[in-house]
């Protein structure tokens, strides 16, 4: 009887249940309840109302929680907030402005810095019956014009700061954000907000995302309204959000938009819009987020900041001892992390509990490190082609080194040659005007991700690298360069590394900030030590030190052919 009540507490995650157990059931000891809280095992999916499309999601929030805060941001120290109802009103008026520009059933490019206006215009493009082609603001003018032509973009709505790039030989209408968002009262008409037709064909193309282009020309990933809604519905069953977030990832990427903005919106929590990388540390203190959605580079930088502070204060030995004691107590069911690592948590605002990390590989040592502080990093996996989430670790069911469990109502499998395959309603319609690439990627309903991996008996997905990066030696041995890169990156002063092969030799190209002769020698010595732990065919034969960082995509992935 008592054991069932403890299990119920774990599943409901309700502090009141814990109080009742401890107060009214004398057979249950406090340490038993705490131990159950920390047990990591399967449990039922979370429940959240299902959406049919993004506009439907906005309407539901405007009807059921009109005064709730959808978006907020800080202009210097002044907070600006937008309610769910206000957001819906703004979308309707912006959609009318787009319609007045004679843009209907068109491909409309959207380009600019992260902002409330960007999100508003994205939704207005969808409501006006158009397709949003989200563009990378950091693209060079020549590449941008190429994308405009290839994606059949007839109009671009641009942030004022991006206007300088807008000079094309091809005919395309260009409108500024202000032309769409700042004329709300131009008609002085009284609209019955909830009589507006928001019915949308679920299989209609909603938007086109561009692949990051790490190995070639960008392709246009076509996502329907059904694709996006399905991904939000199924992802929210695996992970439960209990607080606000700070959106720092670029909106023109699927992870930064669909996960870090629209999924949070669907949970009913406020999305705080970051005003740029230089303000993140201050914004964390102001926002006090419960969860952050980040790519690995952010996690790695936060880790470096923490360790630099500890080293500066000459507290390394004391800190390591404290971590050991805390982890030992945690294994016994006693959690004192938020008390003893209060100073570290305060750097994130003090309320941080989770970091959802995706977009690239993250060493599991970072997961263990942040768990020591009281922050659970939940690695996820996805691609733009999957709208974007295919798997994610759960709040209380996760496995270090994995990228999580596949989404409900979907399938993840591994082919005979080790490639990860995904099937589900969220898999893209295809690549725009590229039937060859589409047929090569989607075969018999399965999306071939190009990633190598395995699935364990509990259903957790583990990745080992990219199929296209695989090094095949003359002796028939296959090497995933990411595996060796992961080990080299653990070496102090190694900031970036790319492993490649040349005539059967393994080469490591390394970038290190403020590199000097002493650091070079230390890095070489540690790679020599690493080599002694690996089979001959995996050993690094040559080290090349770079003076500059590797070229990266806007999601901070290294372009490997740089």
Q: Among 1-5, 48-52, 367-371, 442-446, where is mean pLDDT lowest?
A: 1-5
Q: Percentage of the chain with pLDDT > 90?
A: 65
- In whole angstroms, what is the distance from residue 534 CA to residue 537 CA? 8
Tokens 């005064």, residue located:
67
Same fold, 245-467 and 470-546: no
pLDDT digits (tens, 9 = 90+) for 470-486: 888 777 788 889 889 98
Tokens 């990832």, residue located:
249
pLDDT digits (tens, 9 = 90+) for 242-260: 999 999 999 999 999 999 9
Return the CATH architecture of domain 245-467: 3-Layer(aba) Sandwich (3.40)
- Mean pLDDT (whole number) for 266-294: 95
Mean pLDDT taken over the chain: 87
pLDDT at 25 over 80: no
pLDDT digits (tens, 9 = 90+) for 506-557: 999 999 988 888 999 999 999 999 999 988 889 999 999 999 999 887 667 7
Q: Among 65-79, 106-120, 361-375, 481-495, where is mean pLDDT lowest?
A: 481-495
Which DSSP category does 133 fall into? E
Tokens 């305060």, residue located:
346
Q: Among 152-156, 186-190, 235-239, where is mean pLDDT lowest?
A: 186-190
- Mean pLDDT (whole number) for 160-185: 80
pLDDT at 104 over 90: no
pLDDT digits (tens, 9 = 90+) for 440-465: 999 999 999 999 999 999 999 999 98
| N-term to C-term CA, the chain | 63
pLDDT digits (tens, 9 = 90+) for 33-48: 444 445 688 999 999 9
pLDDT digits (tens, 9 = 90+) for 398-447: 999 999 999 999 999 999 999 999 999 999 999 999 999 999 999 999 99
- Mean pLDDT (whole number) for 367-382: 96
CATH number, domain 470-546, options 2.60.40.10, 3.40.640.10, 3.30.300.30, 3.40.50.300? 3.30.300.30
- Mean pLDDT (whole number) for 270-299: 95
Q: Is residue 471 within 8 Å of residue 479, measured between CB atoms?
A: yes
CA distances from 44 to 7, 8, 408 (A): 12, 11, 11
pLDDT digits (tens, 9 = 90+) for 124-171: 999 999 999 999 988 888 888 889 999 999 999 999 888 776 777 678
Which SS3 state, helix, strand or coil, does residue 309 take?
helix
CATH number, domain 54-200, options 1.10.1040.10, 1.20.120.160, 3.90.1150.10, 3.40.50.980? 3.40.50.980
pLDDT at 204 over 90: yes
Supply the pLDDT for residue 410: 96
- In whole angstroms, what is the distance from residue 60 CA to residue 51 CA? 9
Report domain extents, the chain.
2-38, 54-200, 245-467, 470-546
More confident residue, 215 or 361: 361
Q: Give the CA diameter of the chain.
A: 79
Q: Is residue 91 within 8 Å of residue 127, measured between CB atoms?
A: yes
Q: Is residue 550 within 8 Å of residue 562, measured between CB atoms?
A: yes
pTM: 0.86
């Amino acid at each position: 009887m008592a054991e069932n009540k403890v299990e119920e507490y774990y599943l409901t995650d309700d502090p009141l249940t814990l109080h009742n157990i401890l107060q009214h059931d004398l057979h249950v000891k406090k340490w038993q309840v705490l131990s159950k809280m920390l047990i990591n095992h399967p449990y039922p999916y979370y429940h959240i109302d299902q959406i049919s499309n993004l506009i439907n999601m906005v309407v539901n929030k405007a009807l059921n929680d009109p005064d709730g805060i959808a978006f907020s941001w800080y202009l210097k120290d002044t907070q600006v907030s937008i309610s769910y109802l206000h957001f819906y009103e703004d979308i309707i008026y912006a959609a009318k402005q787009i319609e007045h520009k004679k843009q209907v059933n068109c491909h409309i490019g959207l380009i600019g810095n992260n902002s409330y206006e960007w999100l508003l215009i994205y939704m207005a493009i969808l409501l006006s019956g158009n397709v949003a082609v989200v563009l990378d603001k950091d693209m060079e003018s020549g590449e941008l014009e190429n994308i405009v032509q290839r994606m059949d973009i007839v109009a671009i709505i641009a942030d004022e700061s991006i206007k300088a790039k807008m000079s094309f030989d091809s005919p395309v209408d260009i409108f500024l954000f202000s032309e769409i968002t700042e004329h709300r009262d131009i008609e002085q008409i009284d609209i019955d907000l909830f009589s507006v037709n928001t019915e949308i064909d679920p299989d209609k193309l909603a938007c086109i995302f561009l692949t990051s282009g790490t190995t070639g020309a960008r392709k246009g990933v076509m996502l329907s309204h059904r694709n996006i809604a399905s991904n939000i519905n199924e992802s929210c069953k695996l992970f439960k959000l209990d607080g606000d977030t700070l959106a720092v990832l670029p909106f023109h990427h699927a992870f930064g938009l669909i996960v870090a903005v629209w999924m949070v919106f669907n949970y009913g929590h406020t999305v705080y819009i970051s005003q740029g990388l230089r303000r993140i540390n201050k914004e964390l203190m102001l926002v006090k987020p419960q969860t952050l959605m980040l790519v690995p580079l952010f996690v790695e930088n936060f880790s470096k900041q923490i360790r630099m502070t500890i080293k500066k204060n000459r507290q390394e030995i004391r800190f390591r001892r404290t971590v050991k004691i805390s982890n030992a107590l945690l294994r016994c069911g006693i959690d004192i992390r938020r008390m003893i690592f209060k100073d570290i948590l305060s750097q994130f605002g003090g309320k941080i509990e989770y970091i959802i990390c995706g977009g690239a590989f993250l060493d599991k040592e970072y997961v263990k490190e942040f768990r020591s502080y009281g922050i659970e990093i939940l690695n996820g996996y996805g691609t733009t082609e999957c709208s974007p989430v295919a798997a994610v670790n759960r709040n209380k069911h996760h496995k270090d080194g994995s990228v999580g469990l596949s989404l409900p109502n979907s399938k993840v499998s591994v082919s005979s040659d080790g490639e990860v395959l995904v099937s589900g309603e969220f898999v893209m319609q295809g690549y725009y005007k590229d039937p060859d690439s589409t047929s090569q990627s989607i075969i018999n309903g399965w999306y071939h991700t190009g990633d190598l991996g395995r699935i364990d008996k509990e259903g957790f997905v583990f990745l080992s690298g990219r199929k296209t990066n695989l090094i095949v030696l003359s002796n028939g041995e296959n090497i995933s360069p990411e595996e060796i890169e992961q080990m080299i990156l653990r070496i102090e002063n190694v900031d970036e590394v790319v492993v490649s092969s040349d005539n059967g030799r393994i080469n490591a190209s390394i970038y290190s900030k403020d590199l000097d002769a002493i650091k070079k020698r230390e890095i070489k010595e540690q790679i020599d030590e690493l080599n002694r732990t690996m089979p001959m065919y995996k050993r690094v034969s040559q080290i090349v030190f770079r003076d500059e960082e590797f070229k990266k995509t806007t999601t901070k992935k290294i372009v490997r052919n740089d």
